[in-house]
């Protein structure tokens, strides 16, 4: 997925901050009548093409890294939710309570909360690795 970004400022010697306009989910059709304002998104990327503030640059996403991050962000919480429900089911099903289903669901939510902490730790590890999801390919 190629996008165009506008270099706002240098963050340090190796990175710059870009303003990127996200594609709107709205088609900006004339029959709608609403303005469908698209707010810019700000990203910090490695300056591998020596871009300076005021330059327009082409951005390219690295699909392998995107798929890795998406898998981590979505699959770990989902797996922990299911695991929590299974563990809760084995713990609370034999109890003689009227609302054991609610307790099973609560155990799933607890496991889901734990998974968010794990995803956050993984995110910090990936931030230290300096793997790029988005790279600048050329100046425009």
Alpha helices in 93-133 (DSSP H): 100-129
Look at residue 34 in the predicted model and tell me its pLDDT: 62
Q: Interhelix angle for 63-92 vs 100-129, to 10°? A: 150
Chunked into runs of 10 residues, the chain (140 residues) has average pLDDT values of: 85 88 65 68 87 89 87 94 93 81 92 96 83 83
Look at residue 35 in the predicted model and tell me its pLDDT: 61
Q: Where are the domains of the chain?
A: 2-62+132-139, 63-129
Cβ–Cβ < 8 Å for 84, 70: no
Cβ–Cβ < 8 Å for 46, 37: no
């Amino acid at each position: 997925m190629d996008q165009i970004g506008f270099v706002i400022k240098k963050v340090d010697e190796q990175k710059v901050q870009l303003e990127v306009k996200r594609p709107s989910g709205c088609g900006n059709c004339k029959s709608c009548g609403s303005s469908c304002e698209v707010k810019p998104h700000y990203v910090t990327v490695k300056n591998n093409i020596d871009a300076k503030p005021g330059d327009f640059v082409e951005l390219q996403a690295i699909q392998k890294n995107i798929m890795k991050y998406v898998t981590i962000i979505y699959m770990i919480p989902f797996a922990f939710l299911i695991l929590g429900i299974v563990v809760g089911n084995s713990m609370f099903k034999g109890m003689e309570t009227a609302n054991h289903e609610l307790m099973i669901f609560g155990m799933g939510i607890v496991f889901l909360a734990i998974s968010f902490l794990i995803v956050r730790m993984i995110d910090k590890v990936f931030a230290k690795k300096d793997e790029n999801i988005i790279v600048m390919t050329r100046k425009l």
